[in-house]
Amino acid sequence: MKYWLIKSEPHDYSLADLQADGVEIWDGVRNYQARNFLREMAVGDRLFYYHSNTKPPGIVGLAKVTQANVVDPTQFDAEHKYFDPKATPEKPRWQTVKVGYTSTFATMITLTQLKENFTPDEFAVVRRGNRLSVMPVAEDVAKRLYALADYDGTA
DNA sequence: GCCAACGTTGGC
DNA sequence: GCCAACGTTGGC
């Protein structure tokens, strides 16, 4: 089992939205580095859910991978914002995963706290100018995040 | 709303 | 294949 961080703008799709939906396809990622991480994900992997472009930004809870290697259907839809004219059903370019809700932290871990606790080398999300929306989280970092959130690690 | 960072596009 | 222009992300 691996750990990852996924970003979402809460006014677009928040952790509460995922809680309401239960499971949702993580579509719309159009960055190759992020896609390559999505391709590496396996069922059961843990996802730290990060709210970006909000005050304050930070990790608000946990989700999990419920299905791996899912073809993102929005790439084929000419009407869709995430349409990719170079993708075909025979040769899709964008794979993703389905994510399931796990839990919401009693108190979020703000970006300020993340910067106080982790170096940019340890955790890319605190790197200045970082725009990657999917990134791996090292196991020791994940354990320290659990401690910061007062989360017992079971879900 | 500003702007730094940085990925992508397209002309050459 | 280089690189300037452009668009987007996302913190502040």
Q: Read off the pLDDT of residues A54-84 as tens digits, 9 standing for 90 and up.
A: 999 999 999 999 999 999 999 988 888 888 8
A112 belongs to a structural domain: yes
Q: Which of A20-29, A47-56, A76-85, A92-101 has the lowest mean pLDDT?
A: A76-85
Note the pLDDT of residue A155: 63
A67 belongs to a structural domain: yes
Residues whose CB is below 7 A of strand C: A 7, 9, 52-55, 57, 111-112, 130-133
The confidence band for A106, taking pLDDT boundaries of 50, 70 and 90, is: very high
A59 belongs to a structural domain: yes
A153 belongs to a structural domain: no
Q: Which nucleotide is nearest to A53 (CA to C1')?
A: C10
Q: Which nucleotide is nearest to A128 (CA to C1')?
A: B5
Note the pLDDT of residue A95: 94
Number of domains in chain A: 1
pLDDT at A154 over 80: no
Nucleotides on chain C within 7 angstroms of protein Cβ: 8-12
CATH assignment of the domain containing A84: 3.10.590.10
Which residue do the tokens 């073809």 mark? Answer: A71
Average per-residue pLDDT for chain A = 94
The confidence band for A8, taking pLDDT boundaries of 50, 70 and 90, is: very high
A154 belongs to a structural domain: no
Q: Which nucleotide is nearest to A58 (CA to C1')?
A: C11
What is the domain extent for residue A97?
A: 3-148
The confidence band for A16, taking pLDDT boundaries of 50, 70 and 90, is: very high
Distance (Å, whole) CA A100 – CA A25: 9
Rounded to whole angstroms, the distance from the CA of residue A132 to the C1' of nucleotide B7 is 10
Note the pLDDT of residue A63: 98
Rounded to whole angstroms, the distance from the CA of residue A43 to the C1' of nucleotide B2 is 41
CB A30 within 8 A of CB A72: no
A53 belongs to a structural domain: yes
Strands in A46-51's sheet, in edge-to-edge order, are A23-25, A95-110, A58-71, A46-51, A3-8, A134-137
